[in-house]
Amino acid sequence: MTKAILPEENIQLGVKAADQKDAIRKAGQILVDGGYTDAGYIDKMFEREEITSTFMGNGVAIPHGTDDAKSSVHYSGLSVLQIPEGVEYGNGNTAKLVFGIAGKDNEHLEILSKIAILCSEEANVEKMLKATTKQELLDMFQEVE
């Protein structure tokens, strides 16, 4: 069985997150709920954050599990949280777009690279923050394919 990496239900618009942990938990829970990972993957996302911040700049964070989290991943998947008010994301950074990633067999590297390409342009980040429908975000990802 193949599973869409980013179906519409993996996107949440207008999210409020209390703090960085809350944002990571929400991004991870979408992956758990969608059957991409088991619940233990969220702990691995927190572990990854302790090793190195997943804040990428431009208001973008890409939390994902540690290398040893591979056994928790059933399918490659992506979750997207649009947080218009932003959330404090360590070291004085503010994340407004949080992409949760689970990659099967190193597929996360390909997903990461697509997000990096898309988010390297501030105009794209602005467009994603202003999106009022999940389809608008999906369309942007399809353009990168």
Among the listed residues 123, 115, 102, the one whose alpha carbon sits nearest the alpha carbon of residue 141: 115
Active-site residue, from 44, 64, 96, 134? 64
Q: Is the pLDDT of residue 28 over 60?
A: yes
pLDDT the model gives residue 83? 98
User: Is 24 within a domain?
Assistant: yes
- Reported as a pLDDT band with limits 50, 70 and 90, residue 14 is very high
User: Is 38 within a domain?
Assistant: yes
User: Is 145 within a domain?
Assistant: no
Alpha helices in the chain (DSSP H): 20-33, 40-51, 107-119, 122-130, 134-144
Quick: pLDDT tens for 36-76: 999 999 999 999 999 999 999 999 999 999 989 989 999 99
User: Is 2 within a domain?
Assistant: no
Q: Is the pLDDT of residue 1 over 60?
A: no
User: Is 80 within a domain?
Assistant: yes
Side chain identity, residue 141: F
Strands 11-12, 94-102: pairing kind: unpaired
Does the annotation mark 64 as catalytic?
yes
Among the listed residues 40, 113, 122, 120, the one whose alpha carbon sits nearest the alpha carbon of residue 78: 113
How many separate domains does the chain show? Answer: 1
Residue 107 domain boundaries: 8-140
Domain holding 14: CATH number?
3.40.930.10
